[in-house]
């Protein structure tokens, strides 16, 4: 039972990390559009919170099972 809770919590954190990355990318694109009038050619978002379904160091630091820091 404890493993199920851990897996569920971990899954929720990864989903939150994915949402955080989507939101971060959107913010970067809006910033570029406001600054340059368009998105720079070749723009590629670099994930900050989750890569290949694994939390990055920043994701582990900022997203905790008991809340956000």
Query: How many Cα atoms sit within 13 Å of 36 on the Cβ side?
Result: 10
How many Cβ atoms are within 10 Å of 20's Cβ, its own excluded? Answer: 19
Reported as type and span, the H/E element at residue 10 is: helix 2-36
Which pLDDT does position 25 carry in this prediction?
96
What is the separation of C-alpha 62 from the centre of its chain, rounded to a whole number of angstroms? 10
Which of 5-9, 10-14, 17-21 reaches the highest mean pLDDT? 17-21
- pTM recorded for the entire structure: 0.74
Of 1 and 8, the one with more pLDDT? 8
Say if residues 19 and 48 touch (Cβ distance below 8 Å). Answer: no
Write out the two tokens for 7: 């897996």
pLDDT band for position 22 (cuts 50, 70, 90): very high
Mean pLDDT in the chain?
83
């Amino acid at each position: 039972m404890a493993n199920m809770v851990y897996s569920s919590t971990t899954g929720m954190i990864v989903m939150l990390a994915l949402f955080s990355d989507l939101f971060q990318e959107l913010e970067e694109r809006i910033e570029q559009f406001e600054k340059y009038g368009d998105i720079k050619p070749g723009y590629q978002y670099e994930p900050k919170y989750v890569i290949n379904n694994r939390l990055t160091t920043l994701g582990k630091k900022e997203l905790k099972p008991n809340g956000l820091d």
